[in-house]
Structure 1
Amino acid sequence: MSTGEAVRTGAFNAARERFAVFLRNTDQKEVQLDATLSGIQRMAPAAWSKLRNSEQLFRIYVMGAGNGGLELPLLKSFIAERGTKDNISISCEDVSQTMASEFNTNAITAGLSDIVSDYQVIPFEDPSHDPPLSDFSMSSHVWYYIQDWRNTPKETNTLQKFANSLDTNGVGLITIYSSTSDRYELLAELHKHTAQPAPELPGEEIVAELAKLNIENQSEIVNAHTDVSSCFQDGAFSPNRDGKLLLSFILRTDWERLPEAAQRGIGERLAEIVRRNGRAEMVFRDLYIWLHS
């Protein structure tokens, strides 16, 4: 293994460990599963009716599908509502071959591989990627990393490209952090103390761009909760190993490498958040943006 490969592998494994700690301490996935199911019923009754009618083909498109940690359980919930796997299919996109391979393995384990029609390993922005027409298109916490959606002409705008994947009576869902999320308070504190890039653009920026593009949408805030008790010992900010990994995931940077002043400022801000919330948790306020065809 070359030095470059070793560095990339090490970074990938570190990111996985951080994400694993986050998953153990949050209800975000469970909240998202429930909110997606109930949201389709409320926001898109025609799509919901089609989902529950096994005589009609129901097509799903997932942008940034990853390894299917959210998407495959959601697919199982869809099938439970439908009563059968008949006439249902899912097409996926992601930039990572590793994630695609894991998705396919996980789909086999879940008994869902027969309804995975395609998994393209390609950047969403690539002009050669043409999302298939779908009854439900979704992207979960990936628009932070997508280019060409702000101040970009309609013809090449990636938000328009995503919206174009919706067939008649179809519905799309973009899930992304709201600017009101506790996470943005910590990101702002990080930015104040370091040369880190400005915080990721929140969902409100997506909504504003959709308005410019005249893409019909509705949005709502859904709260998820993340336990940060591993960041406190005897009531004082003093993260243990899991706490440091959790903070590294939330901040998208290595906690151990942050300057002492940044760690102190972030700790003080997190303590304020915990006092406000009345418990050792952060409230992750997600913006659910529903697009209509």
Structure 2
Amino acid sequence: MTVILVLLCLAIAGRELWLAFERGRTPGAPEIADIRTQLRALKGTRDELEEFRASQRERLDRLTADQESDRAAFGEADARIRSLVTQINDRLVPDVSGRLKEQREAAEEQRAAVERLAAEMAVLRGHLVGRLDQAAAASLGADPADLVTGSLAVVPGEARPALAGPFERFAEHHGLRVELTDGDRYYLSGRSPRGLELDFIDLVAALREHCVESTGPARSLLGALRDVDRGGARIGPLLMARTPESLVCGVLPLAELRRPDAAGLLGDPDAAARRLHRLPEGRFCDVSAWPALNA
């Protein structure tokens, strides 16, 4: 009996130990509930994370699309800017450059005009001073200074500067000084018309006889006239006329210079040439066929 009681006590004690051991191994209901709560929270967090990832992915896609749109807009704007720059370079820059060039040319022309005016004023002043000196000398009993007119006309007009030099050197060679110029007209002093008439008759005779030594300045002027289409030169009674068909010179009578139309003799070179052909042989020379005049 005692043995049975001991065994029974041992069995009861073993059962209690096993139950206590099982209770230590198996979690309780609160712990399980807490674990389940944490699992649900983790699941919610995972869902939120997936939603966040999806929203970020959509936002990234929108940003990428916006970036592509901005890149296209920037490219279009850059192309328009380049087009505008090209148009400015092609249209406005040449126009502005042309206007600046015109302004510079206008300024140069004005400067040249001022310089010409200053030179003409200096010449006029010198002429006035010379006239005053002559008047003062005449008041003391000196002979009055002689004055003759001349003219130089050529076609085309651009060739006139090339003839002005030979013309003025020829006048200087015969003792004349240019006092004043007015367009094609010259006013020269230093010789009397009568003395020039005699000298020019001798000159025409020397030209007919091909006297190169004594006719150098005259031949230079005639050679310069040969290089133009039409025109002529006159100093006092000496007249040179150039037409496409001829080159002639002659000495007009002084009485003819008093006519009102004498100043316009070179306005019609053909008429001037015909007038020279009517002069006496001693006053006329035709150099049209001469091979070289200014050699």
TM-score, L = length of structure 2: 0.24
Q: Which of structures 1 and 2 has the larger relative contact order (alpha carbons within 8 angstroms, sep 6+)?
A: 1
Task: Give the structure with the larger strand fraction.
Answer: 1
Task: Give the structure with the larger helix fraction.
Answer: 2
Q: Which has the larger radius of gyration?
A: 2
